[in-house]
Amino acid sequence: MIGLLPLDEQLPALRTTLQRNELLTEVLARTATLDLPGWYLTAGCVFQTVWNVVTHRAPSGGIRDYDVFYFDDADLSWAAEDEVIAAGRAVFAGLPVEIEIRNEARVHLWYEAKFGVPCPAYTSSEAAIDSFAATTCCVGVRTEPGDRWRVYAPHGLSDVFNLVLRPNPVQAPRSVYEAKAARWRRRWPELTVLPWPPPAH
């Protein structure tokens, strides 16, 4: 099993696995042309591609959208972010998937209204990835010059390859984790979903 490989072997295995999803590699290539600060392709399109390949499904099957994070705290206006989104719309034209571009420097401005809990201002795209509802989801990738892939995976890759969903109670509420887990379990019944930890006394 890939999840049992040493970490230095898991990294090239991740790249090989993600390259099975031609849409993902195309999104990576096109995003690189936008020259966004601190960008990553992250969230479902990354770990769900792995789940699909490991379970012998179509690599892009069941992936609802492709999330691009970047971090620019020089201008926190919606207008500045919308300009980037418009540029992305042109770059991604013709792809049969929805690409969602978000400036993670702005998340604290709208997070509470959407999820019901406050969100401290992130200091980087990596900090935003750290806050995903499951540690398994905390993986971001981007391409760099010289055919290099940069991978950010603060909790490693074993859970991703082994289809273990592990809660990450640092930001998102329990309800978000459980709703996502239930939805993903319907698509990937092979998942092992670990329970949300009880409150500390």
Q: Is the pLDDT of residue 30 over 70?
A: yes
Beta bridge partners of 148: 144
Q: Which residue has the higher pLDDT, 93 or 199?
A: 93
Our CA dihedral for 98, 180, 82, 131, rounded to 10 degrees, sits at -130
* pLDDT tens digits for range 137-174: 999 999 999 889 999 999 999 999 999 999 999 888 89
Q: Tell me, what's the pLDDT at 29?
A: 96
pLDDT confidence band for 1 (50 / 70 / 90): low
**48-86 residue pLDDT tens:** 999 999 999 999 999 999 999 999 999 999 999 999 999
The pLDDT of residue 3 = 53
Residue 2 predicted with pLDDT over 80? no
Q: What is the pTM of this model?
A: 0.93
pLDDT of residue 119: 87
Residue 100 host element (H or E): strand 98-103
pLDDT digit string (tens) for 84-125? Answer: 999 999 999 999 999 999 999 999 998 888 888 888 999 999
Q: Which residues contact 163 (CB under 8 A, 6 or more apart)?
A: 51, 54, 55, 188, 190, 191, 192
The mean of the pLDDT values for the chain is 93
